[in-house]
Amino acid sequence: MRTDIAIPRPISEAAEQLAQKLDISLSELYTAALTAYVTTHQKNEVTERLNQVYETETSTLEPVLVQLQVASLDGATW
């Protein structure tokens, strides 16, 4: 897919230099940068939703679940 966007000259020049340094195309650099940015924001959305849930719900485990988790370690050392 091709998209036209306007990027300020200092950022564009820095991106070109970084792409050359990394030996990748400018398109690959922009794709990697956007992927990282979108992924970060998606993770933040998940965190925000979980925070909303735990505003009204407890996060403690049932004692039986704790016992099962401990039993599943079966003497494992950390």
Q: Write the pLDDT tens digit of every residue in 4-53.
A: 899 999 999 999 999 999 999 999 999 999 999 999 988 888 888 888 88
Predicted pLDDT at 16: 97
| Bigger pLDDT: 37 vs 58 | 37
- Note if the pTM is more than 0.75: no
Measure the CA angle with vertex 28, ends 4 and 18; round to 5°.
100
14-32 exposure pattern, b = at least 16 Cβ within 10 A, e = fewer: eeeeebeeeeeeeeebeee
46-57 exposure pattern, b = at least 16 Cβ within 10 A, e = fewer: eeeeeeeeeeee
Of the pLDDT bands very low, low, confident and very high (cuts 50, 70, 90), residue 76 is low
Predicted pLDDT at 70: 86
Predicted pLDDT at 58: 82
